[in-house]
């Protein structure tokens, strides 16, 4: 079963390129986190793979596309391993690594929000469900990465800039365009770029979502 | 494929009401934990959704009901988001939040133990397997919530009152009634209420499961 | 759907024995970790079950074998519960428990690397994909165990001996033999024993994978 079968040919190629790019970006983010956490080469490779293919595997299990693409097309794992090796050899400095992690994570987030939504819609889900699954695909790899590495997931942290909202932005544009029949590879590219830009601007200018005002005793939590 | 197809009509309505109620209860528990952990509105919404639909998604993946109901019927996510917004606006105090978390978590636990078992049985699993999957459905959402929020899962903690046993109680009664052909909506309601009551009594009176007596050097663990 | 249908009869029996043995070994490792973490009997049972059947459930979901074997054949859960009860009654000392955890974890790792690869290959995956899924099956239960118990997964830790590589060794031998048509129960046994031995030798002699050399400021991480 190929969930991409009802996309036109150009859109399929764009979708494939997008999926490979997102895989590479997320793999780099996982590998960089592994270097920062002082993992060995195997730990770095495992974290790179889990981050890169984790979101897509969740997406494929949910739409019933089994075995998931990452287990059929070994290029995804190969891309993730290449990214891990690259980062292992490069050994970035902490400050640079943090910036590289932020940028590649934002790229993976934007790309997978779009390709996840497209895959879900092609599998027959309605627009709201497809957008929801696009967001799950986009944030899933990063959540797996953070949970495995013992870090608090970025998608939840109150001291962090907005993370799920840029993914929702890209997924919602994509789902709307698909529903209205206006989706093209260019629309997908723009939606991914929009989500990426939103995330990077949020990091740059410290955009955060509102928090509940805490009642008095909250300043001294148990 | 509708796994509920061989339930009679009244039982189906009851099952649906139960699933919505359990979703709301677990969503509140996730949102309350998010408020207590000082998350922003997006983190609270994500944690509410993950807690509310996590157990059901695991259940649906295991019985092959794909896409899982939570991705087809967007009312589950809408209920979870409404619960998150409610808690965000209410901003409960820590002490009250802990009690609200305990009660809503117990309600979700009891309800999902029953509806999870019913869904699994309707999908063709035998009574022991159905009860096992009912327990997984009931504790799954809470485990996801606790792992995401970086808390030790309640189902494991030795300093906590019994948690999995009330779920097993509700699931076992449901599975037995289903197997003997005596299952009705009322039986399900009573089983869920029994599991809820058992959990609340355990919290009230500090019921705990036995622990292994530790050998001498255990008092000074590595 | 029985993914073992195209194995010959002797290989099927061996596969079954292997799966039961691996389940027992991983259940012991989970139960021992539960005792060490001072869990109660329920927590120990939950951790034993999650470790023992977690990897196999992931494998079955990925190849589309639903409901996963662990939910159809209740002997897997029964074996895990028996292992949990055994460890609960035995109450091993910390030093002994650590050794028992290492040995049973290595046994489960080697066995599941082989049986996971065989199951994946029988379900139609190519040799590289089957070996990849074998590794996921082998390390999956341990990762679930460690994440639930709040420990850093062994597969990632830089201060730990090699863990994923022995699994990859066993899976690669198995996949190669299957692809060339030379796979027999004896080959599987040898591959599992090889992976087990590699892991035990790594623990004994402190074999570790290389780490990236850190740049200067890394000694003072943020």
The chain C residue lying nearest B63, using CA atoms, is: C67
Q: Which residues contact C160 (CB under 8 A, 6 or more apart)?
A: C154, C208
Which of C117, C136, C156 to mutate against chain A (most A CBs within 10 Å)?
Answer: C156
| pLDDT higher than threshold 60 for residue A216 | no
| pLDDT higher than threshold 60 for residue A208 | yes
What pLDDT, on a 0 to 100 scale, did the predictor assign at position B158?
63
What pLDDT, on a 0 to 100 scale, did the predictor assign at position A171?
97
What pLDDT, on a 0 to 100 scale, did the predictor assign at position B222?
38
Asked if A212 and B74 come within 8 Å (Cβ–Cβ), the reply is no
Asked if A217 and B94 come within 8 Å (Cβ–Cβ), the reply is yes
Interface of A to C at Cβ within 8 Å reads 34-44, 46-47, 57, 61, 66-68, 71-72, 74, 77, 88, 91-95, 98, 147-150
CB hemisphere CA count around B150 (13 angstroms): 15
Q: How sure is the predictor about C144, in pLDDT bands with cuts at 50, 70 and 90?
A: very high
| pLDDT higher than threshold 50 for residue A222 | no
Report CA torsion sign: C4, C5, C6, C9: positive
| pLDDT higher than threshold 50 for residue A1 | no
| pLDDT higher than threshold 60 for residue A217 | no
Q: What is the DSSP letter of B171?
A: H
Does residue A196 contact residue A106 with C-beta atoms inside 8 Å?
yes
SS3 B48: helix
What pLDDT, on a 0 to 100 scale, did the predictor assign at position A50?
95
Asked if C158 and A40 come within 8 Å (Cβ–Cβ), the reply is yes
The chain B residue lying nearest C50, using CA atoms, is: B136
Asked if A149 and C156 come within 8 Å (Cβ–Cβ), the reply is yes
The chain B residue lying nearest A209, using CA atoms, is: B40
CA-only gyration radius of chain A, Å: 17
| Higher per-residue pLDDT: A27 or B98 | A27
**C154 to chain B, closest Cα gap in Å:** 17
Asked if B215 and C91 come within 8 Å (Cβ–Cβ), the reply is yes
Residue of A46, A71, A92 with shortest CB distance to C125: A71
What pLDDT, on a 0 to 100 scale, did the predictor assign at position A27?
95
Asked if B40 and A211 come within 8 Å (Cβ–Cβ), the reply is yes
| φ/ψ of residue B107, rounded to 5 | -65, -45
Residue of A71, A92, A150 with shortest CB distance to C129: A71
| Higher per-residue pLDDT: C85 or A160 | C85
Query: Could you count the other beta carbons within 10 Å of the beta carbon of residue C159?
Result: 10
Q: Which residues in chain A touch residue C143, judged by CB atoms under 8 angstroms apart?
A: 148
CA-only gyration radius of chain C, Å: 17
Residue-by-residue DSSP string for chain A? --TTTTS-HHHHHHHHHHHHHHHHHHHHHHHHHHHHTT--HHHHHHHHHHHHHHHHHHHHHHHT-SS-HHHH-THHHHHHHHHHHHHHHH---HHHHHHHHHHHHHHHHHHHHHHHHHHHHHTT--HHHHHHHHHHHHHHHHHHHHHHTTPPPTTT-TTS---HHHHHHHHHHHHHHHHHT---HHHHHHHHHHHHHHHHHHHHHT-----PPPPGGGGS--
Mean pLDDT, to the nearest integer, of C59-84?
94
Q: How sure is the predictor about A219, in pLDDT bands with cuts at 50, 70 and 90?
A: very low
Q: Which residues in chain C touch residue B171, judged by CB atoms under 8 angstroms apart?
A: none
* CA atoms of A170 and A182, how far apart (whole Å): 15
What pTM did the predictor assign? 0.90
Mean pLDDT, to the nearest integer, of B69-90?
93
* CA atoms of A203 and A98, how far apart (whole Å): 12
Task: Give the least confident one: A67-71, A100-104, B158-162, C217-221.
Answer: C217-221
% residues pLDDT > 90 (chain A)? 63
Mean model confidence pLDDT for chain A? 87
Task: Give the least confident one: A208-222, B135-149, C10-24.
Answer: A208-222
Does residue B129 contact residue A134 with C-beta atoms inside 8 Å?
no
Q: Which residues in chain C touch residue B143, judged by CB atoms under 8 angstroms apart?
A: 148
Q: Which residues in chain B touch residue A156, judged by CB atoms under 8 angstroms apart?
A: 34, 37, 39, 43, 46-47, 148-149
Q: Which residues in chain C touch residue A149, judged by CB atoms under 8 angstroms apart?
A: 156
Interface contacts (A, C; CB < 8 Å): 89
Interface of C to A at Cβ within 8 Å reads 61-64, 123, 125-126, 128-129, 132-133, 139, 143, 147, 152-153, 155-158, 162-165, 208-215, 217-218, 221-222
**B214 to chain C, closest Cα gap in Å:** 7
Q: Which of C172, C77, C178 is nearest to C128 (CA)?
A: C172
What pLDDT, on a 0 to 100 scale, did the predictor assign at position A218?
45
What pLDDT, on a 0 to 100 scale, did the predictor assign at position B220?
42
Across chain B, how many H-helices and E-strands are there? 8, 0
User: What separation, in Å, do the N-terminal and C-terminal C-alpha atoms of chain C show?
Assistant: 52
Report CA torsion sign: A5, A6, A10, A16: negative
Which of A134, A145, A146, A158 to mutate against chain B (most B CBs within 10 Å)?
Answer: A158
Mean pLDDT, to the nearest integer, of B115-132?
94
């Amino acid at each position: 079963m190929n969930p991409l079968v009802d996309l036109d040919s150009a859109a399929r190629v764009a979708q494939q390129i997008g999926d490979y790019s997102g895989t590479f970006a997320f793999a780099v983010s996982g590998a960089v986190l592994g270097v920062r956490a002082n993992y060995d080469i195997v730990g770095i490779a495992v974290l790179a793979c889990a981050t890169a293919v984790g979101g897509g595997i969740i997406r494929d299990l949910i739409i019933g596309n089994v075995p998931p693409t990452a287990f059929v097309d070994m290029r995804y794992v190969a891309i993730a391993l290449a990214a891990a090796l690259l980062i292992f050899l490069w050994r970035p400095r902490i400050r640079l690594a943090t910036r590289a992690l932020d940028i590649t994570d934002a790229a993976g987030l934007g790309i997978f929000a779009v390709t996840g939504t497209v895959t879900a819609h092609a599998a027959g889900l309605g627009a709201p469900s497809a957008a929801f699954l696009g967001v799950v695909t986009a944030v899933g790899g990063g959540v797996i990465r953070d949970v495995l590495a013992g870090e608090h997931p970025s998608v939840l942290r109150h001291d962090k800039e907005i993370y799920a909202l840029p993914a929702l932005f890209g997924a919602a544009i994509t789902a709307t365009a698909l529903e209205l029949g206006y989706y093209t590879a260019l629309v997908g590219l723009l939606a991914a770029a929009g989500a990426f830009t939103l995330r990077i601007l949020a990091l740059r200018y410290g955009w955060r979502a509102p928090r509940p005002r805490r009642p008095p005793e909250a300043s001294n939590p148990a």
